[in-house]
């Protein structure tokens, strides 16, 4: 379990190494689909999850290294600005090219309140 902390309204690029087994081995991501889901309660359906990302990169997850099983999950300000403060449950799952499913990472993502919206001030 890996716990994370972030500030509402920020952009997050979260790196993960996806492994399986008691002697962790990297999952080969060639032909795989990676899913990231974040929700307030574990019992919430994925349909109401405030963050649902998956590969390919246009859908929010970039594969950094296929053979090493590394990915980056992008949560933009459009998603994070809508977060309530407090803990969310998150998880990463991989469906391999052979339809094997692994839950590789779970944890809590603690959202803190934002400090202001100075990013909205024009530069120049």
What's the Cα-to-Cα distance from 62 to each of 33, 37, 113, 121, rounded to whole Å? 11, 15, 27, 30
This prediction's pTM: 0.88
CATH number for the domain spanning 82: value is 2.60.40.10
Residue 85 lies in a domain: yes
Residue 122 lies in a domain: no
pLDDT of residue 73: 97
Residue 74 lies in a domain: yes
pLDDT of residue 82: 87
Residue 15 lies in a domain: yes
For residues 101-124, give the mean pLDDT. 79
pLDDT of residue 81: 87
| Radius of gyration of the chain, Cα coordinates, nearest whole angstrom | 15
Residues 57/73, Cβ–Cβ less than 8 Å: no
- Count the Cβ atoms, other than its own, within 10 Å of residue 15: 10
61: number of CA atoms within 13 Å, CB side?
26
Q: How many domains does the chain have?
A: 1
Residue 124 lies in a domain: no
Residue 120 lies in a domain: no
Q: Range of 56's domain?
A: 4-114
pLDDT of residue 121: 52
- CA atoms of 112 and 87, how far apart (whole Å): 9
Predicted confidence band of residue 118 (pLDDT cuts 50, 70, 90): low
For residues 4-30, give the mean pLDDT. 92
């Amino acid at each position: 379990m890996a716990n994370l902390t972030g500030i509402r309204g920020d952009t997050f690029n979260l790196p993960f190494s996806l492994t399986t087994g008691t002697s962790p081995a990297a999952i080969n991501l060639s032909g795989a689909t990676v899913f990231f889901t974040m929700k307030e309660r574990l019992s919430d359906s994925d349909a109401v999850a405030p963050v649902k990302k998956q590969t390919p990169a246009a859908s929010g997850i970039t594969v950094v290294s296929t053979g090493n099983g590394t990915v980056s999950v992008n949560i933009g300000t459009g998603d994070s600005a809508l977060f309530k403060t407090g803990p969310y449950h998150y998880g990463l799952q991989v469906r391999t090219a052979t339809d094997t499913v692994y839950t590789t990472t779970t944890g809590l993502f603690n959202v803190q309140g934002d400090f202001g919206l100075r990013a909205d001030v024009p530069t120049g």
